[in-house]
Amino acid sequence: MAPLSTWWFLRRLKSRVWAAKRIVRALKLFVPMSRDVIRGDFRPIPWSAFGMMALALGYLVLPFDLIPDFLMLIGVVDDVLIVGWLLNRIDQRLEGYRAWKFGDPDLTPT
C-alpha cells in the first residue's frame, strides 16, 4: 500500500484520536479544577498541571518559538504539536482530580 494513500492517512488519523480526546478532556477539566483549588475544596494542589498550563499559554502568546511563526505552515504546526503535547501531559496530572470529582478516574465529564 502506498504510504500517501487515503486509507493509510485515515488509519493513521484514527490511531491518533486518543491524543485529541485527552487534550479536549484536559481543557474541559482544568477550569473547574482551578475553581475547586481556589475555593479550597480540592487538595492536594496539582502544581505541575498549573505549571504546564502556564508554559503552554506562554508558548502560544510569547513571540519566542522553536520555529518562528513567519514560516507559515511549519511555524504553526510547531505550536500545535508542543501545546498539544503539554495538554496531553496536563490530562495525566489531573487523574487525581478526576477521581475526586467523578469517583472514577476513567469517567470523563460530558
Tell me the pLDDT tens digit for each residue of 82-107: 888 898 899 889 999 999 998 865 55
Sign of CA dihedral 19, 23, 28, 32: positive
pTM more than 0.75: no
pLDDT in tens, 33-83: 999 999 999 988 899 999 999 998 888 777 777 777 667 777 777 888 888
Give Cα 47 to chain centroid, integer Å: 16
